[in-house]
Chains A and B, each alone.
Chain A
Amino acid sequence: MNNLLEKYNDEVQTILNKYPDDQKRSAVMPLLYVAQREKMYVSQEDMAEVAEIIGVTPTEVASIIGFYSLYYDKPGAKFRIQVCTDLPCALRGADQLMEELCHKLKLDPHFGVTTEDDKVTVEAVMCLAACDKAPMFQLQSGDGIFYHENQTVESAMELVEELRHTP
């Protein structure tokens, strides 16, 4: 039985229809977003199901998860605050925002770290194409990816608190 197919059949078919019949492998990335939606990571079972749908091996699916930074193969926080600290953002105070935010949350700014309640991870990421609206971060969860631009430590803390109280 393929849970992914069973549960999201319409969505899976819509995705598959975007690509030629003999090129279903192209659907691996959109399917992984679907697989990751509920748990915010892709389990071994999910990988096998995605592999079955597109006709590749689970190892090949795992390699895609390993290569691309927006997929996770281990359970983690439900919400990820991903602060861009690349050069243009750093010139506008992104490193300070990252450090102060981590300090307030009692986290180490040099690693992707998670709050005590396992709800929120704060991590530095690479350029997010919003250099003129720095400091900024994106919020990634199973529901998608949302930009938060022109941020301050206060506005970021407000969001963290809100997320921690989200069931």
Chain B
Amino acid sequence: MTYVLFRHRDIPDIDQLDVYMKHGGFEAFNKVVTTMKPEEVVEEVFKSGLRGRGGAGFPTGLKWRFIDKNNWPHYVVANADESEPGTFKDREIMERNPFQFYEGVMICAYAVQANDAYNYMRGEFWELAHVLDGKLAELEQAGLLGDNLFGTDFSLRMYNHLGAGAYICGEETALLESLEGKLGQPRLRPPFPPSFGLYGKPTIVNNVETLTNVPMIIAKGADWYRTIGTERSTGPKIFSLCGNVEKPGNYELPLGTTFRELIFEHGGGIPGERKIKAIMPAGASSAIIVANDEALDTPMDYESVPNVGSMLGSASVIVIDASVSIDWLVKKTLHFFKHESCGKCTPCREGTYWMTHLIDRIEAGSEGYEQIGLLYDVARNIEGKCLCALGEFSIQAVVTGIDRFPDDWKAKAKNGVKREMDAVAV
């Protein structure tokens, strides 16, 4: 196939500005600035059906339409805080095809008439950030960033900004707080960033992968883009595949590709003679899917994955084989969310703390089944009570792990106090 996002896999040196330019680089940006009205750019992206690739799947063009035109200045912020366990796609884009990503940011900035754009990267991308600072300098030298671009009155400056280790900053309002120099804690919404964003000004926050789609949509048109993927989930998607799989890595495939094709054709299947047991399609925050034939034949798009009880999210597919006990997996995810809870909302802060205590007791085998019931109960009481999705994410593996894999918990409790599994709310 011809890559749309991972074009470095076809053109290895595309991270060099001259090579990117030789392959049509910044022609789309030139085209929008010199020949299109901002609203026309927004409508083209809307028509393409592009949806946010960070996890929420919100229509990108619709988000851009929401920008408040009665309040200025506007900002564009790229969300490069990639921190979900299982997700490693934005890093490859920025490392290998950085100019296409930047061109996407620049087209977005023109579409919403922002003169300043920030790329908020997680602090651990320190090496990459230094490479990207060099790329921005090249863009300035080439006259692609700065004042009066292409002889028009449109000006644009762009900056990289490094975070410092906080998963929560991938949540867009927490990211904006962090960029303002504050604790990365989510804001109450509404208002949403397109009306009240960075420094209280209208702001578009988009994921790196989302923005990387944009230059190709402008260059080849929304109609071409809609030929990839499904009717409602258009375009290509990068699937980060990891866990118990032969060939982990990033795979760019059309939305609507089945789990089976990704895991067994592209990913080479499960190592050894072991059987596939479960799938987490959206990283550590996913509801766990039982990997039966129905699930494996489910197309990975925003509409279909909920049919098997989960979400596509950022498409970070973690494959779990039969050697893994789900209670151990839940322990891993809980310790993550407990560490990453920002502490703002009590149900999440206290709930993740107590859930880790409970799972540790269960894992130690020193307690009975009632602890499993209590864990389930605490999880259910976090649901729907937090400002952002982190609280919600933290309970997905717990609830679905107990509901869908009861045998794993029975086996665990066998080693502990003898109780009846019936006592558990499963």
Contacts and interface: CB of A to CB of B under 8 A. Distances in A.
B318 A26 contact: no
B124 A128 contact: yes
A30 B162 contact: yes
Interface in A48-83: 54, 56, 63-64, 67-71
B352 to A, nearest CB: 13
B165 A144 contact: no
Interface in A138-161: 138, 144-147
Contacts of A29: 123, 161-164, 178, 181
B86 interface: yes
Given A26-B181, A69-B165, A132-B249, A91 B284 contact: no
Contact of A87 (B127, B162, B318): B318
B248 A68 contact: no
Interface in B75-92: 82-88, 90-91
A68 B85 contact: no
B198 to A, nearest CB: 9
B187 to A, nearest CB: 16
B324 interface: yes
A86 interface: yes
Contacts of B180: 23, 25-26
Given A30-B161, A68-B165, A70-B164, A129 B318 contact: no
Contact of B124 (A28, A56, A71, A129): A129
B85 A86 contact: yes
Contacts of B47: none
B340 interface: yes
Contacts of B49: none
Contacts of B249: 132
A40 to B, nearest CB: 14
A87 B333 contact: yes
Contact of A18 (B159, B240, B242, B340): B159
A28 B181 contact: yes
B320 interface: yes
Nearest to A134: B242
B336 A91 contact: no
Contact of A91 (B162, B164, B320, B339): B320
A68 B329 contact: no
A138 B125 CA distance: 10
Contacts of B425: none
A126 B336 contact: yes
A88 interface: yes
A54 B124 contact: no
B332 A126 contact: no
B181 A54 contact: yes
Contacts of B184: 67-68
A95 B28 CA distance: 47
B241 interface: yes
A93 B422 CA distance: 35
Contacts of A131: 85-88, 240, 242-243, 248, 316, 318
A129 B243 contact: no
Given A20-B199, A87-B85, A91-B324, A146 B127 contact: yes
Interface in B35-72: none
Contacts of B329: 87
A86 B336 contact: yes
B127 A144 contact: yes
Contacts of B284: 86-87, 127
B104 to A, nearest CB: 20
B185 to A, nearest CB: 8
Given A29-B162, A87-B329, A131-B88, A68 B123 contact: yes
Interface string B212-248: 0000000000000000000000000000111110001
Contacts of A144: 126-127, 130
B126 A88 contact: no
A12 interface: no
21 contacts: A18-B161, A20-B116, A23-B181, A25-B182, A28-B181, A64-B181, A67-B184, A86-B85, A87-B318, A87-B329, A91-B242, A126-B85, A127-B85, A129-B87, A129-B91, A129-B122, A131-B87, A131-B88, A132-B249, A138-B124, A145-B127
Interface of B: 82-88, 90-91, 116, 122-127, 130, 159, 161-167, 178-184, 199, 240-244, 248-250, 280, 284, 316, 318, 320, 324, 329, 332-333, 336, 339-340, 342
Given A129-B88, A145-B124, A147-B124, 14 more contacts: A23-B181, A29-B161, A30-B161, A30-B162, A54-B181, A67-B166, A68-B123, A68-B165, A70-B164, A87-B85, A90-B332, A126-B336, A129-B124, A131-B240
